[in-house]
Amino acid sequence: MSMTASYHELTFEALDRLSACADRIVHVIKQRAPVAGAVVLATCNRFELYLDIDAQLTEAGIIHAARHIAGLVAVESGVDAEMALASFRISTGSDTVAHLFTVAAGLDSMVVGEREVAGQVKRALAASHEAGASSPLLEMLFQRAARASKQVAEQTALGHVGRSIVTHSLDVAGQSLPPWSQVRALLVGTGFYAGAVFAELTSRGCADVSVYSPSGRAKTFTAKHQATAVDDLSASLASVDIVLACSGAHNQAASLDRGYVIDKAVLADVARSLVMIDLALHNDIDPTIGALDQVTLVGLADLTEQVPPADAAAIVAARRIIDEAVTDFEDTRMGREADAAVVALRARADERIAEKVAELVESAKRSGETDIDIDAITRRVRGPIHAQLHQHILATRASVREAAKANVPFSADLATHSLLRTE
């Protein structure tokens, strides 16, 4: 089952509030919800929960589970419980598989074909695994999603046509800047996203990059990148051409007694024209700064409206790969469930044979028989039970195929429930 919220349905402000618990909710879900596993995928434009739940749950049971988990999210993020539940789209079975594979391939991104999300999907699984919250089914699901994403990148033109939000933001910013080799840039943030921004800047020829970290990690970042760590934010802002903010350092900003990392007070000494790109879901830059004459401010919401369309043929080819990957995953999953059901059927058959033999031996003893041939009794009992077992195995495999076609859960427990009633 998946519970997904993204820029498709919610404003960035609503996503911001909802995803405030992203770093801890997987622990909460695993501890307080009846799930076998959980993975949380939180990016700048989506907050998604992937859950390994009981396959036998009815539709009402799934809704109940979703309501319970949405309540946990509400408590941890500080939003209203009903608002949290209404924010999520709930899906199960192959619909969940198809959605994750589509997301991982960049087909559900603001900029179709962006590659950052593939790494985010891998890290989401790694984080869940490290927290002890994943499950074998979720491990297989996310690994297959990464494989499908790689196939799309290698076998279609989407990787060339589709561009990341970072790439697009610099395309937009470049229209107001001198040649990149002459640009002085300030990067706010030191996380993975900051690394992607730095790589894109240098690929365009920008060699003068300063780094400011609200959490004090600028020197750690610049030790691995050809950039300069700065401590004085105001002075740095007064000497650069572009600011790219992607720290989302809401807590650090609050500790500085201001709501944003960069506000109007910090810009007091800036008299020159300045392009500012806020890529943080938790805004780093006060949106009202955009009203200043010397500032051109572009945020995620602005970028959403400006993203270029991807090539239609590349999208069709990518979706074909995703469809095949989903079918392959479902075949594998159903095959494993069928194998588990067959193993359970054989075990139940052996139990039934042993039970029946014991009944017949006890009956013979009560009748006064002394020369009881247990092997002969076992052979006599085994024949009809194995014949029935064969029919049940055939029926089970057929049920697995029908469940896959109808996109409904299949349970190995139900397959053995009525097994071997004949004497």
Residue 254: which pLDDT band, with cuts at 50, 70 and 90? very low
Say which of 21, 44, 206, 246 is annotated catalytic: 44
Beta bridge partners of 47: 5, 42
The amino acid at residue 183 is: V
User: Do 310 and 164 contact (CB within 8 A), yes or no?
Assistant: no
Greater confidence (213 vs 398) lies with: 213
pLDDT digits (tens, 9 = 90+) for 14-67: 887 888 888 889 989 988 878 889 999 998 789 999 999 866 667 788 888 899
pLDDT at 116: 82
pLDDT at 152: 93
Which residues, including other chains, have CB under 8 Å from residue 28's CB and lie 6 or more apart? 21, 72, 76
pLDDT at 421: 46
This prediction's pTM: 0.66
pLDDT at 404: 58
Residue 407: which pLDDT band, with cuts at 50, 70 and 90? low
- Rounded to the nearest 10 degrees, the angle between the axes of helix 116-130 and helix 192-203 is 150
pLDDT digits (tens, 9 = 90+) for 109-122: 877 777 788 999 99
Asked if the model's pLDDT at residue 360 lies above 50, the reply is: yes
For residue 21, indicate whether it is catalytic: no
Distances (CA, A) of 280 to 185, 277, 400: 17, 9, 45
pLDDT at 379: 84
pLDDT at 401: 62
Question: Cβ-count burial of 90 within 10 angstroms (0-12 exposed, 13-18 middle, 19+ buried)?
Answer: buried
Beta bridge partners of 310: none
Asked if the model's pLDDT at residue 3 lies above 60, the reply is: yes
Asked if the model's pLDDT at residue 299 lies above 50, the reply is: yes
pLDDT at 257: 46
3-state secondary structure of 105: coil
pLDDT at 166: 83
Residue 409: which pLDDT band, with cuts at 50, 70 and 90? low
Using CA atoms of 127, 119, 48, 110 in order, give the dihedral in degrees to the nearest 10. 160
What average pLDDT does the chain have?
84
Asked if the model's pLDDT at residue 89 lies above 90, the reply is: yes
Residue 338: which pLDDT band, with cuts at 50, 70 and 90? low
Residue 280: which pLDDT band, with cuts at 50, 70 and 90? confident
